[in-house]
Amino acid sequence: MARVHLSGIGKTYPDGTSAVTGLDLDIAEGEFLVLVGPSGCGKTTALRMVAGLEEISSGTLTVGGRVLNRTPARDRDVAMVFQSYALYPHLSVRDNIGFGLQLRKRPRNEIKRRVEAAAATLGLTEHLDRRPRNLSGGQRQRVAMGRAIVRDPQAFLMDEPLSNLDAKLRVQMRAEISRIQRGLGVTTVYVTHDQVEAMTLGDRVAVLKKGLLQQAAPPQELYDHPANLFVAGFIGSPAMNLLQGRLDADGSAARVQLGGQTLAVPASLLERRPGLRAYLGREVALGIRPEDMDDAELRDGERETVLTSTTDIVEALGPELLVHFRLPAPPVVTDDTRELARDAGADGIDAAAPDSGAVARFSPRSRAR
Ligand code: ATP
């Protein structure tokens, strides 16, 4: 395992498309770093540059202290797992897993030993003589992992390895990848557009938007302290509600005017974020996570943190209820737990939020229907 260091990495394709710009990431030995972002944000390009499958236009890539910018992929000692698995259909599982070792002309005994050890780790021992077409999607995915593991590389690079699996298998394999990575302690860079995958797998998650790094932090920190509105809206499902309002103060108490309504800003929030005072008297984006909302009519007191709204749609998911409702702002979503505005106000109150709309009324009874 090795430290992977990207310093000012950029990629401009020959047609002039700038896919990645000035990417700085320092990935520690044994760390699991997830690159996440919407389609086209440059995450695959970034990974392929580390793998040596895409030329680096600018910046410096080092793995284990060696500058690799001009090193061919085969000499990089990193193993990539592709979304498509890229298995050889005519080879058995054994030969697929051992392929890289055969290419490197390792002794036959060693290949056998290493392939069988990888197969045991992945629960593939019984399937070693099968062809990929006779395996399930999850088993194929394991073979692709096996091919990476068996090489004992300095780093694993994974490009959406779970996206071809059904939802249930994806959850299983997600846990398995986590277990294997932690067991082997191999530095891993993992690309996904799925923020749940990113949050559950990553020691750290790096959020990209249009080729630019927005924030790289442990999952909980991204959730609790998003660096800007993009990260605030991207991390969390359903997404954080972003409402436009005006931050005002009355003595030591602060409040947000949302259309015709007023919402108190908890004093604790102002204490924790003294910088918010700089926004007094200004338009702000108020971020309230769906899980931080509650039904005011079912609770006592705290009327100052109550918003009136009308219910739009109710989605019962079993353990939770998603209530889409209308505020004097665009539709927002809550999954009906905890306290309204407990942690209101994303750190990144720095950009225009959606326009406010008409005043509406929240009808909690409709949730019980
Ligand atoms: P997805 O999740 O859809 O795979 P991504 O975040 O991995 O997206 P990339 O595939 O890295 O994004 O693409 C980043 C940008 O670079 C996109 O605008 C894409 O159209 C562009 N791009 C990718 N490959 C090429 C290429 N060979 N030539 C020109 N532009 C490219």
Q: What's the domain range around 310?
A: 240-368
State whether 207 and 246 are in the same domain: no
Q: Grade residue 32 by pLDDT with cuts at 50, 70 and 90.
A: very high
The pLDDT, as a whole number, for residue 335 is 46
44 lines ligand 1 (CB under 6 A): yes
Specify the higher pLDDT residue, 199 or 306: 199
Nearest CA to ligand 1 atom 9: 42
d(CA 13, ligand 1 centre) in Å: 9
Q: Grade residue 347 by pLDDT with cuts at 50, 70 and 90.
A: very low
pLDDT digits (tens, 9 = 90+) for 184-195: 899 999 999 998
d(CA 199, ligand 1 centre) in Å: 23
DSSP three-state, residue 49: helix
Q: Grade residue 364 by pLDDT with cuts at 50, 70 and 90.
A: very low
Contact 71, 62 (CB under 8 A): no
- Which of 184, 205, 231 corresponds to the end of one domain? 231
CATH of residue 138: 3.40.50.300
Look up residue 28 and give its DSSP letter.
P
The pLDDT, as a whole number, for residue 336 is 37
pLDDT digits (tens, 9 = 90+) for 57-88: 999 999 999 999 999 998 999 999 988 888 99
d(CA 7, ligand 1 centre) in Å: 20
Q: Grade residue 302 by pLDDT with cuts at 50, 70 and 90.
A: low
15 lines ligand 1 (CB under 6 A): yes
**Which residue shows structure tokens 């692709």?**
144
Specify the higher pLDDT residue, 360 or 198: 198
Nearest CA to ligand 1 atom 22: 19
The pLDDT, as a whole number, for residue 86 is 86
193 lines ligand 1 (CB under 6 A): yes
State whether 150 and 71 are in the same domain: yes
Residue partners of 295: CB distance under 8 A and separation at least 6: 336, 364, 367
d(CA 352, ligand 1 centre) in Å: 28
Look up residue 98 and give its DSSP letter.
H
* 173 has a pLDDT exceeding 80: yes
State whether 249 and 278 are in the same domain: yes
State whether 360 and 223 are in the same domain: no
State whether 315 and 225 are in the same domain: no
42 lines ligand 1 (CB under 6 A): yes
- Which of 197, 213, 231 corresponds to the end of one domain? 231
pLDDT mean over 222-227: 93
- Which of 189, 213, 231 corresponds to the end of one domain? 231
Specify the higher pLDDT residue, 250 or 257: 257
Nearest CA to ligand 1 atom 5: 40
Which ligand 1 atom sits closest to the C-alpha of 11?
16
State whether 304 and 364 are in the same domain: yes
Alpha carbon distances (Å) from 73 to 51, 76, 86: 6, 5, 16
* 183 has a pLDDT exceeding 60: yes
Nearest CA to ligand 1 atom 15: 19
User: What value of ipTM does the predicted structure carry?
Assistant: 0.97
* 316 has a pLDDT exceeding 90: no
**Which residue shows structure tokens 């030969």?**
95
Q: Grade residue 8 by pLDDT with cuts at 50, 70 and 90.
A: very high
16 lines ligand 1 (CB under 6 A): no
Highest averaged pLDDT of the listed ranges 50-64, 123-137, 229-243, 253-267: 50-64
d(CA 138, ligand 1 centre) in Å: 27
Tokens (6 digits) for 243:
């409402």
Q: Grade residue 368 by pLDDT with cuts at 50, 70 and 90.
A: very low
State whether 119 and 175 are in the same domain: yes
For a ligand 1 pocket test, name from 34, 41, 48, 160 the mutation site with the most ligand atoms within 8 angstroms of its C-beta: 41
Number of domains in the chain: 2
d(CA 41, ligand 1 centre) in Å: 7
State whether 194 and 321 are in the same domain: no
Percent above pLDDT 70 for the chain = 86
Q: Grade residue 348 by pLDDT with cuts at 50, 70 and 90.
A: very low
* 118 has a pLDDT exceeding 50: yes
Query: Is-cis flag, bond preceding 274, omega within 30?
Result: no
State whether 149 and 248 are in the same domain: no
State whether 270 and 167 are in the same domain: no
3-state helix, strand, coil in the chain (%, to 5): 30, 30, 40
Cα–Cα dist 324/313, whole Å: 5
The pLDDT, as a whole number, for residue 342 is 32
pLDDT digits (tens, 9 = 90+) for 120-166: 988 899 999 999 999 988 889 899 999 999 988 999 999 998 888 88
The pLDDT, as a whole number, for residue 203 is 97
The pLDDT, as a whole number, for residue 66 is 95
The pLDDT, as a whole number, for residue 268 is 80
Q: What is the DSSP string of 225-292?
A: S-SSHHHHHHSSSSPPEEEEEEEEEETTEEEEEETTEEEEEPHHHHHH-GGGGGGTTEEEEEEE-GGG
d(CA 45, ligand 1 centre) in Å: 6
Contact 47, 159 (CB under 8 A): yes
Tokens (6 digits) for 144:
């692709």
- 80-94, 110-124, 203-217, 276-290: segment of lowest average pLDDT: 276-290
State whether 202 and 246 are in the same domain: no
State whether 283 and 211 are in the same domain: no
Residue partners of 172: CB distance under 8 A and separation at least 6: 138
